[in-house]
Homo-oligomer: A and B are copies of this chain.
Amino acid sequence: MTRIRQLATTDADFDARLAAICDAQGALNQSVIEATDAIIGKVRSAGDAAVVELTRKFDAREIESIEELRVSIDELQAAVARLPEGGYEQLSLAAQRIEWFHQHQKQDSWRVTDALGNTLGQRVSPLDSVGVYVPGGKASYPSSVLMNTIPAKVAGVERIVMVSPSPRGEINDWVLAAAYLAGVDEVITIGGAQAVAALAYGTESIQAVDKIVGPGNAYVAAAKRAVYGQVGIDMIAGPSEVLIITDGSVDPDWIAMDMFAQCEHDEMAQALVLCPDTQFLEQVQGSIARLLPTLERQAIIAAALEGRSALIATRDLADAAAVSNRLAPEHLELAVADPEALLEEIKHAGAVFLGAYATESLGDYCAGPNHVLPTSGTARFSSPLGVYDFEKRSSIIKVAAHAGQRLGECTSMLARAEGLTAHARSAEMRFKGDEPPQL
């Protein structure tokens, strides 16, 4: 019998117990960091040769050159043809919806003219090139390919390179088909820290990119952290989480299954259910007991349910919203009769699912919004992956002699106040001859 933690916001030790299960900030593993730094160093110094050697070693590939690790567009098309019936249609629907949603995120350049006649503005342009990391093996997900690639495509990125390890040469047809659909430009079957290093610094045959996105294991995460600054990165994701607020107006089986869906990712995943109705929470407990044995991944789910998950009795829905705001969950389901009213009280969340039918899994695949979301409370200050992550802005400052006069005076005084007299004089020269203004 799976024992899921039961808490109540009225418990004296509630805050401490909640904090204990929500602290997912594992210390970085020093041996992983050192191994990763060594790999990055090798790739920076030996380039292709290092990538080939490491791929032979870690992925058991008997290859001699990077070229053997490239997957052609023809091979991607062949993978499309091997999908089961209906597969391409469903993948296409997901891709179309994701593209449609993300089109709304495109930002426009703008310029404005001030009263003096100066023109100021912001120019928005796509990054030149992006690397998308896709894990190999069991966590090799086509949905991840679509979610990481399509926003870059919508932004107008000209070169999108997908890397994914292919142990013993095996690679998932769904992933290749998704790469084809999403419009990936290059596919290279490399993985781990060596793939991240190759994308960040470039090698003889792999051109460096400007930003690297996508999930990966501890080595990939450490490598992304290490190359951050040389290139942009998306985020270092923690364990996935869902927080479900319900008023008990929904089938408890649905709530149990949504918890399972979250928990089947891995043992560190977290599902929290907050409800003012303790009887309903008991029903959910009953649903869990009944349904869990029917799940393929029940061992992982049970570990995650017992690990960091909980059923939490709250005073009312406002109390539940307050707990949610404290945690800033990655996924937030509002399985209540009036979700719009409750949304008004929500301050932080990666994605909010409104109503009992809006299960998180729709959002994971095909609702349209991105499934790459801020974890571990970072929704307080960060956002879903989006088109904006593949665009950059440049400020535009256009000044004419007569229009800049007043700015020159201001610059002169403030720069002198800061002791930066060359700053002051570069303005004074243009607008006053080289005489400092009378202060």
Asked, given contacts A394-B350, A422-B297, whether A104 binds B110 with beta carbons under 8 Å apart, the answer is yes
Q: What residue of chain B has the Cβ atom nearest to residue A232's Cβ?
A: B381
A296 touches which of B343, B355, B419 (Cβ 8 Å)? B419
A264 touches which of B112, B254, B423 (Cβ 8 Å)? B423
With the chains together, A93 CA to B422 CA distance in Å?
21
Cβ B420 vs Cβ A392 within 8 A: no
Asked, given contacts A297-B422, A384-B393, A419-B296, whether A398 binds B359 with beta carbons under 8 Å apart, the answer is no
With the chains together, A63 CA to B264 CA distance in Å?
53
With the chains together, A300 CA to B389 CA distance in Å?
37
Give the interface segment out of A47-55, A79-87, A191-199.
A79-87
Contact with B along A376-389 (1 / 0, CB 8 A): 10111111101010
With the chains together, A298 CA to B383 CA distance in Å?
45
Q: Which of A246-271 contact B (CB under 8 A)?
A: 251, 253-254, 257-258, 260-261, 263-265
Residue numbers in B under 8 Å from A283 (CB-CB): none
Cβ B114 vs Cβ A368 within 8 A: yes
Question: So how many copies of this chain end up in the complex?
Answer: 2
A354 is an interface residue with CB less than 8 A from chain B: yes
With the chains together, A365 CA to B417 CA distance in Å?
11
A355 touches which of B100, B143, B398 (Cβ 8 Å)? B398
Contact with B along A424-438 (1 / 0, CB 8 A): 111101110010000
Q: What residue of chain B has the Cβ atom nearest to residue A118's Cβ?
A: B367
Asked, given contacts A399-B367, A401-B357, A422-B295, whether A383 binds B393 with beta carbons under 8 Å apart, the answer is yes
With the chains together, A59 CA to B352 CA distance in Å?
46
Q: What residue of chain B has the Cβ atom nearest to residue A124's Cβ?
A: B383
- Most chain B CB within 10 A, of A87, A211, A229, A295, is at A229
| Given contact pairs A373-B395, A384-B394, a sample of 15 additional A-B residue pairs in the complex whose CB atoms are under 8 Å apart | A94-B410, A120-B368, A174-B417, A229-B378, A295-B422, A339-B398, A352-B397, A353-B399, A354-B398, A358-B398, A360-B426, A361-B411, A362-B427, A363-B397, A365-B410
